Amino acid sequence: MRKADTEDMALVKAYLELPVLLDVLELNIKKMKQADFKLRHIFELQLKSIQDEIIKQQRPVRQRMRQKGIKIIDEKRTPHSLDAEFLCRGFWTPFRCFGAR
């Protein structure tokens, strides 16, 4: 058995980051609905389009993780990072992804 490689780590990172992006977009959509300017509907549609693309990206990430035997055991969001523990082919691996400050 092999431990987690760079592709495995990239999959875990995508798995953790994509829901955060969806949350940020949802917050921005809510702010757009409250905004008082003429083009807000166009911005809302564009943000929803981006959300749809992210949702499409999530499925292949989850499928590839399943194919490679990667399972997320625990995940936690902090203000400055995403933390997770995952199993990859029998090896327990901690993971931390730092965000922009």
29 within some domain: yes
Q: What is the pLDDT along the chain (101 residues), one digit of tens a residue?
A: 566 788 999 999 999 999 999 999 999 999 988 888 888 889 999 999 999 999 999 999 999 999 999 999 999 998 888 999 999 888 898 998 886 44
66 within some domain: yes
1 within some domain: no
47 within some domain: yes
> Considering the entire predicted model, what is its pTM?
0.83
17 within some domain: yes
56 within some domain: yes
Q: Which domain holds residue 76?
A: 6-98
Q: How many domains does the chain have?
A: 1
- DSSP per position, 18-78: HHHHHHHHHHHHHHHHH--STTHHHHHHHHHHHHHHHHHHHHHHHHHHHHHTEEEEEEEE-
